[in-house]
Amino acid sequence: MYEILKDGDACEYYAIEDKPGTKNVDPELGNKFAYLDLDDIKNELLDFSDSGVSKVTFFIPSIHCSSCIWLLENLNRLNAGVILSSVNFVKKEARITFRDTVMSLRQLVELMASINYEPRITLNDLQKKNEKSADRKIYYKLGVAGFAFGNIMLLSFPEYVNFNNTLEQSYRNSFAWLMLILSLPVVFYAATDYYVSSFKSLKKKIINIDIPIALGISVLFLRSAYEIIFQLDVGYLDSLSGLVFFLLIGKWYQNKTYQALSFERNYKSYFPVAVTVIDENEQERAVPLKELKIGQRLIVRNREIIPADSILLKGKANIDYSFVSGESSPVSKSLKSLIYAGGRQVGEAIELMVEKEISQSYLTELWNQEIGAEKEGSKLNSIIDHVSRYFTLSIILIALMSGIYWLIIDQNIAMNAFTSVLIVACPCALALTLPFAFGSTMRILGRAGFYLKKTDIVEQLTRIDTIVFDKTGTLTRNDEFMVNADQLELKDSEYSLVKSAVRQSSHPMSLAIYKSLDHPLLEEITSFDEIPSEGISSIINQHEIKIGSEKFVTGKTKNQSTYSSRVYVSIDGIQKGFFQINNKYRDGLDEVIRQLKPNHQLHLLSGDNDAEKEKLLHLFEDENNMHFDQSPLDKLNYIKNLKLQGNHILMIGDGLNDAGALNESHVGISIADNIYHFSPACDAILESNKFSELFKFIAFSKTAMNVIKWSFLISFLYNIFGISFAADGLLTPILSAILMPLSSVTVVAFITLSIRTLARSRKILSY
C-alpha cells in the first residue's frame, strides 16, 4: 500500500487523519476482473464513452471516512489514465472519468482493488443502467410544470391588481395568450399520468381519485381556452398550472426513497456479472453469468459466490452460507458433494461443475417464494378510492343540478356555475394528503434509523397484531458472543497457550474466545493448522493444543444438541473441558418484548437448535409460539398459516433464509448491522443499534395516521366552502386562483408541521 502511494506521490493520504482506513489487500488479482474486457459487459457498465474518454460510476461499500474520499479523488496521481474522479459519500459511489486509450476498464478496477477500494459490480448494476431514464420522467414533468407555473403566475399578477380595469385590453389579451401557450406542455405532457390512470380505471369500471383530478384539469383548461380565444376573460390557467405542479411534487415526494438503500434485491444484486470457466482446452476465460450452462467447469476463488448449484471437483470447499441460512459458521464439503448457489467460498480456489442453471438453483427458489406472495394493498388507499368514487359522482350531480337551476333562473350564469363546481371541487388537497403525510413520516423515521420501502407501509404498521421474530442476527448480535469458561480446568499458563492458538484463527468463535481471555500471549508458535468446521491444531512452546468440535478434540460426539455452542480444548492429548459459547442478545430486547406484549401476539422462528430455548422462554412465555430448526420453507408456511387465521403480521429477520417469510408477511423488517450490506427483499430496514426503539417506531405510525385523518377533514371543509361559491355562480378566476392553491398549501403545511412537532414530542427526532 505504501509503495503504491509513494510511487504516485500521494503519501499525504496518511496525513489526512490518524487512521488511514486500509485493510488487508490481495495483490494476486489474476483473472478476477477479466470479464471487464468483454465488450458486452463493458458497454453496459460505462455511463459514457467517446473519443478515447469514458465515464463510469461504481458503488464502493468500503468508503467510510475522509481519507477514503481523498484517496479516491486522487486516483489520477496513481495512474495518468484517470482524468477525474469524484465521490458521493452518502451513496458510497465514485464517478470516474478516464482515458480508455491509456487504461482499460479492467485496469481501472484492478487499480482500485489494489488499494482496497474494490467496486461491487453485480448483475443488478447492468439492469439499473437501463432503468435510469425511466426514473427521470418525474423530474422532467416537474420541471416543465414548475417553469410554466412560475411564468403564468407572473403574467397573471396584473389581473390581481386590475381593480378598476386600468390594464389595457391589448396587454391583457397578449398576456392571456402567452399563458395559454405556456399551459399547453403542462396539460399535454406534465399531467398525462392522470389521464392514463383515469382511462385505465374507467376501462376496468373502477373510479379512483385520479378521475376527478383529470376531470378538473380538463375543465379548467377547456374553459380557460374558451374564455381566452373569445376574449371573454383570462381563464384559470394559474390555478391549473399550480394544481399540476403541487400534484407532481406530491407524487415525487411519495416515490422518493433512500438512494443508498435497496429493498428490491434478488440474485442479480447478489451475484457477479461474470464467472471464470475452464474451457475444453483447459484454459480459463471469463463468461457472462447469463451464459453459464449445465456441465461447465468453473473456478471459484476466496470470498467469491457460488453462482449455481454445482458439484465439487477439486479443492477444499469451505462454504459460508450466512446469506442463505443466516449462520456464520462455514461448512466444509467433500469431493463430489453438491454445493448450493449463494454460498461463499472461504479459503483456496475450488473447481466446480455446474449441476443446475441459475434460474433453477436453490437460491433463486428462495426468491421465487417471494414472487408468488403479493403484499396486500393499503387499506387506506382503498378507502380513498372508495371515497373518490362517491366524491366524483356527487360532484358531477351537484354540477348538473347547479347548471339546471341557473338555466331556469339565469341562462348567462348556468354554464359558469356548472364548470365552476367541477373546477373548485378538484380533490387536490385530498390527493396531496397521503404523499406528504407518509413522505414526511418516512423521512423522519429514516433519520431515526428506520427506513421504509414504500409510503403505505406506515399505514400497514398501524394494523399489526402479530409479530414474528427470527433469532440469529435478529434477537442476537452477529458480531458478539458470550463466552463461559466454567467447564474448563486450565492453569494460567495453559490459558495463554489457548489464547495464542485462537489468535491465529479468523473463525467467529475463535475471535470470541480470544477477546474473552485476559492472559499474556506466547510468541513461540511452531505450527498451526485450521480444519474448516472442525477446529484448530497448533504446537506452541512444545505443547500440542487442539481446539474445536467435540469430535475433533475428543473423537466422540455425545452432545450433538449443543454442538454449535461448545468449543472443546485438549492440551498434549489431555481433555480440559470446553468453552460454552452463547449468543449475545441485542441491547434492550427485554424492554422491547415487554412493550410489544400487551397488544401483539409474539412468535419466534429460528433455524438454530433449541439450545437457548430456556433463555428465551421467559420472554415469549408461550412455548407453543417458539419453533426451532426451521427451514426457509418452514418459516414461509408458518407465516401463511398465521395469515389464514386472520392475523396481520409483522416479520422481523435478517438473512436470505427469511426472504420468503418477510415477503409473505404484511410487513417485513430486515435488521441490518450495516445498511449498505446485502439485505433480503423487505418492506423496511432497521439499523441494528435502533432495535430497542422498535415499539416507538410502530407507535409513531399510528400518530401519523391521526394527522392524516385531520388533514382529510381540512380538505373536505375546503370543498364544502368552495362548492358553495361555485354553485351560486360566484366563482371568479381570482377567487379560484386563491382558493385552490390555498387549500393545497394549508394541507401540506399542516401535515409537515404536525408530524415534525409530534416526532419531537415522541422523541423520534431530537432536533
Specify the domain boundaries for CATH 2.70.150.10 within the chain: 271-360
CA distance 258 to 91: 9
| Residue pair 46/56 in contact by the 8 Å Cβ criterion | yes
pLDDT at residue number 189:
95
CA distance 530 to 385: 63
CA distance 336 to 488: 39
Specify the domain boundaries for CATH 3.30.70.100 within the chain: 2-121
Reported as a single tens digit per residue, the pLDDT across 613-660 is 888 888 888 889 999 888 777 888 899 999 999 999 999 987 656 777
Widest pairwise Cα distance in the chain: 113
Q: How many CB atoms lie within 10 A of CB 533?
A: 15
CA distance 473 to 324: 13
**Under 8 Å CB-to-CB from 604, ≥6 apart: which residues?**
468, 469, 471, 475, 616, 620, 625, 626, 627
Residue 463 CA from chain centroid, whole number: 22
Q: What is the mean pLDDT of the chain?
A: 79
* Residue 545 pLDDT grade (very low, low, confident, very high; cuts 50, 70, 90): very high
Is 288 in a helix, a strand, or coil?
Answer: strand
624 exposure class (CB count in 10 Å sphere: 0-12, 13-18, 19+): exposed
CA distance 169 to 733: 17
Fold of the CATH domain 478-585: Calcium-transporting ATPase, cytoplasmic domain N (3.40.1110)
CA distance 680 to 425: 44
Reported as a single tens digit per residue, the pLDDT across 693-712 is 999 999 999 998 899 888 88
* Residue 25 pLDDT grade (very low, low, confident, very high; cuts 50, 70, 90): very low
pLDDT higher than 80, residue 183? yes
Reported as a single tens digit per residue, the pLDDT across 304-330 is 888 888 999 988 888 877 655 555 556
pLDDT higher than 70, residue 244? yes
CA distance 684 to 244: 31
CA distance 58 to 511: 33
Reported as a single tens digit per residue, the pLDDT across 417-455 is 777 777 776 666 666 777 778 878 888 888 888 888 777
Query: If you compute the radius of gyration of the chain from its CA atoms, what whole number of angstroms results?
Result: 32
CATH architecture of 2-121: 2-Layer Sandwich (3.30)
Dihedral (CA of 588, 591, 595, 601) sign: positive
CA distance 263 to 455: 13
Q: What is the mean pLDDT of residues 102-122?
A: 87
Q: How many CA atoms lie within 13 A of 569 on its CB side?
A: 24
pLDDT at residue number 465:
93
Q: Which three cell numbers stand for residue 226?
A: 374558451
Q: What is the mean pLDDT of residues 380-404?
A: 74
Q: What is the mean pLDDT of residues 497-507?
A: 83
Which among 230, 244, 214, 227 is positioned nearest to 159, based on CA atoms?
227
pLDDT > 90: what percent of the chain? 18
CA distance 346 to 11: 33
* Residue 478 pLDDT grade (very low, low, confident, very high; cuts 50, 70, 90): low
Say which residue, 503 or 465, is predicted with more confidence. 465
Q: What is the mean pLDDT of residues 84-104?
A: 88
pLDDT at residue number 580:
87
Say which residue, 368 or 36, is predicted with more confidence. 36
Specify the domain boundaries for CATH 3.40.1110.10 within the chain: 478-585
CA distance 714 to 749: 12
CA distance 151 to 258: 32
Q: Which three cell numbers stand for residue 84?
A: 477525474
DSSP state of 490: -
Reported as a single tens digit per residue, the pLDDT across 743-767 is 777 888 888 899 989 998 888 876 5
Say which residue, 73 or 302, is predicted with more confidence. 73
What type of residue sits at position 488? L
Triad 740, 743, 747: Cα angle to 5° = 145
* Residue 689 pLDDT grade (very low, low, confident, very high; cuts 50, 70, 90): confident
**Under 8 Å CB-to-CB from 166, ≥6 apart: which residues?**
none
Reported as a single tens digit per residue, the pLDDT across 710-752 is 888 887 887 788 788 777 777 665 566 566 667 777 888 888 8
Residue 642 phi, psi (nearest 5): -65, -40
Using alpha carbons, list the distances in angstroms from residue 36 to 32, 80, 297: 9, 20, 20
Highest mean pLDDT among 81-85, 244-248, 504-508: 81-85
* Helices and strands counted in the chain (H then E): 27, 26
DSSP state of 471: -
What are the residues facing 318 on neighbouring strands? 332
Q: What is the mean pLDDT of residues 52-69?
A: 84
pLDDT at residue number 371:
42
Q: What is the mean pLDDT of residues 459-481?
A: 84
Q: Which three cell numbers stand for residue 95?
A: 464517478
pTM for this prediction: 0.64
Q: Which three cell numbers stand for residue 247?
A: 400534484
CA distance 295 to 273: 19
**Under 8 Å CB-to-CB from 736, ≥6 apart: which residues?**
236, 239, 420, 423, 424
**Under 8 Å CB-to-CB from 669, ≥6 apart: which residues?**
650, 651, 652, 653, 662, 682, 683, 684, 685, 686
pLDDT at residue number 577:
92
pLDDT higher than 70, residue 214? yes
CA distance 260 to 131: 16
pLDDT at residue number 267:
54
Using alpha carbons, list the distances in angstroms from residue 141 to 136, 156, 216, 247, 487: 9, 22, 19, 11, 70
Q: Can you identify the CATH homologous superfamily of domain 437-477+587-701?
A: HAD superfamily/HAD-like (3.40.50.1000)
Specify the domain boundaries for CATH 3.40.50.1000 within the chain: 437-477+587-701
pLDDT at residue number 586:
87
Q: Backbone dihedral region of 573: left (phi > 0), alpha (psi from -120 to 50 degrees) or beta?
A: left
| Residue pair 442/452 in contact by the 8 Å Cβ criterion | yes
**Under 8 Å CB-to-CB from 176, ≥6 apart: which residues?**
228, 234, 235
CA distance 53 to 55: 7
Q: Which three cell numbers stand for residue 345?
A: 467460498
Q: How many CA atoms lie within 13 A of 41 on its CB side?
A: 24
Is 467 in a helix, a strand, or coil?
Answer: strand
Q: What is the layout of strands, in order, in the sheet containing 338-339?
A: 284-288, 274-278, 297-300, 350-354, 310-314, 338-339
Say which residue, 681 or 534, is predicted with more confidence. 534
pLDDT higher than 70, residue 354? yes
pLDDT higher than 60, residue 163? no
Say which residue, 169 or 16, is predicted with more confidence. 169
CA distance 403 to 662: 54
CA distance 631 to 634: 5
* Residue 375 pLDDT grade (very low, low, confident, very high; cuts 50, 70, 90): low
**Under 8 Å CB-to-CB from 560, ≥6 apart: which residues?**
none
CA distance 759 to 584: 31
| Residue pair 106/36 in contact by the 8 Å Cβ criterion | yes
Reported as a single tens digit per residue, the pLDDT across 567-612 is 999 999 999 999 988 778 888 899 999 999 999 999 999 877 777 7
pLDDT at residue number 718:
79
What CATH code is assigned to 271-360?
Answer: 2.70.150.10
Q: How many CA atoms lie within 13 A of 714 on its CB side?
A: 24
270 exposure class (CB count in 10 Å sphere: 0-12, 13-18, 19+): buried
Q: Which three cell numbers stand for residue 616?
A: 428465551
